[in-house]
């Protein structure tokens, strides 16, 4: 399992099916909310790397998790956990598109 899948797997094991209140206690107030069913937490490292962790709720519980990773403001990769699909984990690496240019 590569580093991206390990990261999403750790989040899934920790936060899947947690309530909004439990998530807020652990992570704090989200940076952005959409319709109160999508919470986004942003993390910046060295002003170059930015990570957005998106928690999607259904019936007040975490249902899906997405991690967006940016380098210099450019979307680098997306890692999904989707409970309704198989496989449940999916990695989309955008840097492969830049390699072909």
> Which long-range contacts (C-beta less than 8 Å, at least 24 apart) are formed by 11-19?
11/53, 11/65, 11/67, 11/81, 12/65, 12/81, 15/55, 15/62, 15/65, 16/62, 16/63, 16/65, 16/81, 16/83, 17/61, 17/62, 18/61, 18/62, 19/60, 19/61
What is the residue extent of each domain of the chain? Answer: 18-66
- Produce one character per residue of 61-99: b if its CB has 16 or more CB atoms within 10 Å, e if not: ebbbbbbbbbeeeeebbbbbbeeeeeeebeeeeeeeeee
pTM for the model stands at 0.82
In this model, does residue 99 exceed pLDDT 70? no
In this model, does residue 100 exceed pLDDT 60? no
Q: In this prediction, what percent of the chain has a pLDDT beyond 90?
A: 48
In this model, does residue 80 exceed pLDDT 90? no
In this model, does residue 87 exceed pLDDT 80? no
Q: What is the pLDDT of residue 73?
A: 87
Query: Is residue 67 a contact partner of residue 52, using CB atoms and an 8 Å limit?
Result: yes
20-55: pLDDT as tens digits: 999 999 889 999 998 889 999 999 988 889 999 999
């Amino acid at each position: 399992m590569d580093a991206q899948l390990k990261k999403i797997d750790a989040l899934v094991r920790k936060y899947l099916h947690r309530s909004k209140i439990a998530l807020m206690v652990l992570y704090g107030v989200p940076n952005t909310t959409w319709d109160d069913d999508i919470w986004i937490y942003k993390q910046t490292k060295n002003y170059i790397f930015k990570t957005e962790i998106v928690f999607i709720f259904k019936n007040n519980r975490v249902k899906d998790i997405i991690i967006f990773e940016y380098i210099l403001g450019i979307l680098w990769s997306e890692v999904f956990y989707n409970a309704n699909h198989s496989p449940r984990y999916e990695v989309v690496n955008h840097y492969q598109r830049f390699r072909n240019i």
